[in-house]
Amino acid sequence: MSPSSPERSAFHMSYSIWRTINRHSNGEARRNLLDVAFLKTRWATLVGRSHHIKLNSMLDAANVKRSKMHNMLRTWDKQTMQFYSKL
């Protein structure tokens, strides 16, 4: 894996959200975050391979270059931020 490969970026994002999820003890909250993690990781891998977009953080969509798929990520991020605001 090269330092800038999409697979490496997806790995770092997966690890980042795994750490975030494990900070919470609420089982339902973990399941919700895991759903978001799976969808974002899958999207990041596909987009990274086809467009070579480097994604720095699963929970920080500001680092993602805008695209049609980014609009869907913004919806997921809003839900995630609503969840965090209730903690």
DSSP 58: T
Cα–Cα distance, 7 to 1 (Å, whole number): 7
| Predicted structure pTM score | 0.23
pLDDT of residue 53: 42
Mean of pLDDT values over 31-45: 61
Residues 76/69, Cβ–Cβ less than 8 Å: no
Assigned token pair, 64? 């993602």
Residue 8: pLDDT band (50, 70, 90) is low
Residue 63: pLDDT band (50, 70, 90) is very low
Cα–Cα distance, 44 to 55 (Å, whole number): 7
